[in-house]
């Protein structure tokens, strides 16, 4: 007497289960690939933000150093002035040169910021495009 009755999954049910498992595997693979790309994009964005912050900080220190040196040079020249007229002329020259320096520094800082924003925007656009392309496959 056979105590273990035969167990058989009907063919249609087996086919349906195999198809479902295949679809689940494909969906998971798609999900994990998208998650990996998202993690890479996040890392790349963080790297870009870090580099941009470093560039801006470096620029700020350079500008501050330049401005302090210019001010100290002006102070040294001013104390050596022989007349009020010479002191006024030194003051006018210093004001003009500092105004030009601050304009140049502001332009450079704006360029750094604009470049970082452009890179960030391009990176975001590419990530969205990749995600959209991936969702279609």
Which is higher by pLDDT, 35 or 128? Answer: 35
Please tell me the total count of domains within the chain.
Answer: 1
**Distance in angstroms (rounded) separating the CA atoms of residues 113 and 100:** 20
Residues 6+ apart with CB under 8 A from 98: 67, 70, 71
Q: Would you state the pLDDT for residue 137?
A: 60
- Predicted structure pTM score: 0.62
The answer, yes or no, to whether residue 102 has pLDDT greater than 90, is: yes
- With tokens 């500008």, the residue in question is 63
Token output for 56: 């801006």
The answer as to whether 3 is a domain residue is: no
The answer, yes or no, to whether residue 107 has pLDDT greater than 90, is: yes
Note down the domain range covering 53: 12-136
The answer, yes or no, to whether residue 110 has pLDDT greater than 80, is: yes
The answer as to whether 65 is a domain residue is: yes
């Amino acid at each position: 007497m056979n105590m273990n009755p035969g167990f058989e999954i009907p063919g249609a049910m087996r086919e349906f289960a195999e198809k479902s498992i295949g679809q689940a595997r494909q969906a998971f693979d798609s999900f994990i690939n998208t998650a990996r790309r998202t993690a890479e994009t996040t890392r790349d964005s963080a790297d870009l933000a870090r580099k941009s912050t470093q560039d801006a900080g470096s620029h700020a220190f350079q500008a501050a150093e330049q401005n302090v040196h210019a001010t100290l040079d002006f102070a040294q020249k001013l104390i050596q002035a022989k007349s009020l007229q010479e002191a006024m002329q030194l003051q006018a020259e210093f004001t003009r040169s500092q105004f030009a320096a601050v304009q140049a520094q502001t332009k450079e800082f704006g360029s750094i910021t604009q470049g970082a924003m452009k890179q960030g925007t391009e990176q975001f656009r590419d990530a969205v495009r990749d995600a959209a392309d991936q969702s279609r496959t």
